[in-house]
Structure 1
Amino acid sequence: MNTSRKSEPSAYLKAIANDNSLPIEQAALDLWLKDLQNPLRWGVRPLLQFIFGILLHIIWFFKRLPLPQFSAHTSLQKLICWFCTHFVSKEANLLILRHYATESNVLNFLAANSPNTEFNPVQLYPKSISDMQQASFVEHDQELFRLFGELGSWHHPAQPLKADELNWQHWQPVDMEQFQLKEKRSQWLDFESAHALFMCLFCLLLTREQYRDAINGFNLDQSIAIRIGDLIGEPKLAEMAYNKYPHYLVGPWNLGQRFLMHGFFTEQLYAYLEQRRLKAHNQLASSEN
């Protein structure tokens, strides 16, 4: 038997490795493809999602009862950072750090080019797992809500902005070399399995309103895509958003997939905007020469 073929990716994985129909940076795609080939994703993850999915709904039910509410942001984030440092794979950790940067860039681009220019830019660009103790997941959600509050109601512009009118002042291109991760032998857990383990803790250690807002914040993806599409004249960007209709609040059902698709959305929108930024930069450089 030829055992060398066991380590080769399947025909489908080879196909999506070469599919650039949707924008995504090669570094992110490589990380995701490697994470997909983690055996635990296919063997352990379904069981974890089943068991902890049931537990999540039980916790959700008790948190909705008229009982005193409590939250423990600091303890929650310390536990997450410790677990990521020791048990979550390098690929999954890099995808998490990339997500902070890609979403911060997308939000800052939206704010800088919106009619209401009075805003405080998002500063969440952690370079290591330890940085996430300050740049917590709760802060990540709250920055999104804060920025939307500062931007106020959206007024669809009559004309999209021209390439030389776009403001990239707060844009920080993602540089994989800046991420600081020390790989350990114990880091074997894939991205989705890690999320399945932690989703119950998030529900338990946040107030019911904080958790409800966090899991519904994904639905602002559609609003972000619509607004940026208006600004640059690309209405098709809204098709990238899997999570939609922010006025319809949902519970924790299908949370793992919604969480993952939010990550894909920010990666794809970031990659699309980065391509436009580089194209405009190159055109400006060639015109000056």
Structure 2
Amino acid sequence: MKHSPEFLEQTYDPRDPSPWLALYLDQSTPLSEEVKRAWLADSSSRSRQFVLPFIRPFARTLIVLFQVVKVFIPRVAFSRALHRLLAWGMENFIRPEANWLILRHFHLGSQILGFIAANAPVEVPTNPLRPGVIADVREDMFLVHDLNLYNFVIRLNQNLRAAGRELEPVARPDFSMIAPPPLRLEDMPRRGRNFLDLQSSIELFTPIYQLLLTDSDFWRATNSLQLDETIGLYVATILDARAHLMLVNNGHPLVPMSTLRAGFRLTLHGLSTEMAHAFLMARQQHQAVTQI
């Protein structure tokens, strides 16, 4: 089966230019060629064009209905069943590019938190997540990913307050934890039924996530997306590069948003994380060159 995106195989026609080719060739935002190719291959898929418009309103209707259910049973949770279902769906129905990006996300999030911890003026414990295969997500990985983010922000700021310190620019930051995740796109399931794009998958999984977790767990998970700006500020402060915060798209952390758009915001969260990691990789390479 071919691995090259369709928009790269088409002949360029100035009278009918491909928007995907334009986005692929553009280099105004930090993103590796490999990630950009996979992201745009997924975004330009027929699944996203024809399936997503039907899945999105259906999934958001379920969110509203399940919220009513959670009013009466807010504490019922089936986390293990949820993660087994998510892993099964990823293995059997999601496109290889989408699966690769999802697994990468756990690595990138762990590396970015590790970067902040290593360059903070206080000690901050972390709990890195490094899935190697889809089956690894069965161990409550999505839930732990959200918990890690909140716990990191709490512990970092507790320790900063206790020490009377704050984050500040670091002349030569420690980039030792920043590296491409050891995941290969070609190792992802690539059967005929693996057709579902990233956004459709996220939209479909969101109400399932809501149904099988407690109301508190779901609310916390969706609102963790508001911490994109917080984590972006931490990284920008250490690197003295706040101008790059324009790449953060999830809004102000003190203004919680409706869970209804959680699927779309989660996609933005994934892209922001990829761009933050690409930016750190570029800074790492620049610092290595200047040391020679």
Flag whether TM exceeds 0.5 (same fold): yes
1:132 to 1:281, Cα distance in 2 relative to 1, 3 A: same
1:92 aligns with 2:98: yes
| 5+ long unaligned stretches in structure 1 | none
1:71-92: CA deviation from partner (whole Å, max 9, x where unpaired): 1111000011011101111011
Once the two structures are TM-superposed, the CA of residue 249 in structure 1 deviates from its matched residue by 2.0
Moved over 4 A (4+): 4-7, 153-157
Equivalent residue runs for 1:124-163 within 5 Å: 124-134=129-139, 136-152=141-157, 156-157=166-167, 160-163=169-172
Task: Indicate the RMSD between aligned Cα atoms, in angstroms.
Answer: 2.2
Q: 2:216 aligns with which of 197, 209, 217?
A: 209
Any residues of structure 2 matched to 1:74-89 within 5 Å, and which? Answer: 74-89=80-95
TM-score for both structures, normalised by structure 1: 0.89
2:3 equivalent in structure 1? none
Give distance in 2, aligned partners of 1:200 and 1:176: 28
Contact 1:128 1:179 in 2 (8 A): no
- The equivalent residue for 1:266 is 273
Give the partner amino acid of 1:148.
Answer: V
SS of 2:102's equivalent? Answer: helix
Select the residue among 100, 108, 111 that pairs with 1:102.
108
The residue type equivalent to 1:219 in the other structure is: Q
Aligned to 2:18: 11
Find the aligned partners of 2:60 and 2:116 in 1 and give their Cα distance.
Answer: 34
Count of residues in Structure 1 that have an aligned counterpart in Structure 2: 277
Residue 58 of structure 2 corresponds to residue 51 of structure 1: yes
Residues 156 and 230 of structure 1 are in contact (CA less than 8 Å); yes or no, is this contact kept in structure 2? no
Seq. identity, %: 25
Q: Distance in 1 between matches of 2:237 and 2:212?
A: 38
Structure 2 Cα separation of the partners of residues 201 and 167 of structure 1? 39
Which of residues 105, 115, 126 in structure 2 aligns to 1:121? 126
Structure 2 portions without partners, runs of 5+ = 1-5
Q: Is the 8 A contact 2:105 2:274 kept in 1?
A: yes
Cα distance change, pair 38–5 in 1 and its aligned pair in 2 (3 A)? closer
- How does 1:216-255 map onto structure 2 within 5 Å? 216-255=223-262
CA displacement, residues 203-223 of structure 1 (integer Å, 9 cap, x when unaligned): 111111110010000110101
- Structure 1 pair 177/41, CA: closer, same or farther in 2 (3 Å)? closer
